[in-house]
């Protein structure tokens, strides 16, 4: 299998940017739903793990939001782990691989902390750690998105002329540039 650099025609950075943006959207939704669960004091409404007692069936009102929260985490895990595996198999960008591996590790930690929160009946230190890890996870996704944006902005790097070179070529010996 051949690795490809980000920004080449077969694997444009724009598609990777969109996938990262989707993963961030799911992450943000999970975080907001988790905060909502805390605010309505339903963090322990579903005491089984990883799924609520109804499994994949439609949940009763008692733990509807907790069920949706856990289902979204499951979708997030599939999306992020698939994206990370894809980056290790198909892409040669060490930077992207490191960021996605870190994000995947943080997500695994988040899931484990979610389980520990249930076992410890929402122990405050565990809850605080769960929230901090969630913020760190979202932060690494933001960093990944910004770095992909820079790759998109710069292009391949070998076939684009920087704006300072363009302006010096177009000015043909004139000093200064007008904006």
Per-residue pLDDT of the chain (179 residues; tens, 9 = 90+): 555 565 554 556 788 889 999 999 999 999 999 999 999 988 888 888 887 888 778 888 888 999 999 999 999 999 999 999 999 998 888 999 999 999 999 999 999 999 999 999 999 999 999 999 999 999 999 999 999 888 878 765 433 323 333 344 444 444 444 44
2 within some domain: no
Domain around 98 = 13-153
Predicted local distance difference test score (pLDDT) of residue 11: 53
Predicted local distance difference test score (pLDDT) of residue 91: 86
Q: How many structural domains are present in the chain?
A: 1
139 within some domain: yes
Q: Is 165 exposed, middle or buried (0-12, 13-18, 19+ CB in 10 A)?
A: exposed
78 within some domain: yes
172 within some domain: no
40 within some domain: yes
Predicted local distance difference test score (pLDDT) of residue 3: 56
Predicted local distance difference test score (pLDDT) of residue 151: 80
* 3-state SS, one letter per residue, for the chain: CCCECCCCCCCCHHHHHHHHHHHHHHHHHHHHHHHHHHHCCCCCCCCCCCCCCCCCCCCCHHHHHHHHHHHHHHHHHHHHHHHHHHHHHHECCHHHHHHHHHHHHHHHHHHHHHHHHHHCCCCHHHHHHHHHHHHHHHHHHHHHHHHHHHHHHHCCCCCCCCHHHHHHHHHCCCCCCCC
7 within some domain: no
177 within some domain: no
Predicted local distance difference test score (pLDDT) of residue 163: 32
160 within some domain: no
């Amino acid at each position: 299998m051949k690795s490809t650099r980000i920004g080449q025609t077969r694997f444009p950075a724009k598609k990777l940017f969109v996938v990262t943006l989707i993963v961030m959207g799911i992450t943000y939704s999970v975080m907001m739903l988790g905060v909502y669960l805390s605010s309505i004091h339903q963090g322990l409404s579903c005491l089984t793990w990883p799924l609520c007692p109804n499994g994949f069936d439609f949940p009763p009102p008692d733990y509807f939001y907790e069920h949706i929260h856990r289902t979204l985490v499951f979708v997030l895990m599939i999306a992020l782990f698939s994206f990370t595996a894809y980056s290790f198999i198909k892409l040669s960008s060490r930077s992207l691989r490191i960021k996605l591996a870190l994000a995947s590790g943080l997500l695994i930690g988040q899931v484990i902390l979610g389980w520990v929160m249930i076992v410890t009946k929402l122990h405050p230190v565990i809850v605080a750690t769960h929230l901090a890890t969630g913020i760190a996870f979202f932060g690494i996704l933001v960093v990944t998105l910004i770095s992909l944006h820079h790759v998109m902005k710069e292009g391949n790097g070998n076939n684009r002329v920087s704006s300072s070179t363009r302006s010096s070529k177009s000015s043909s010996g004139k000093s200064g540039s007008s904006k």
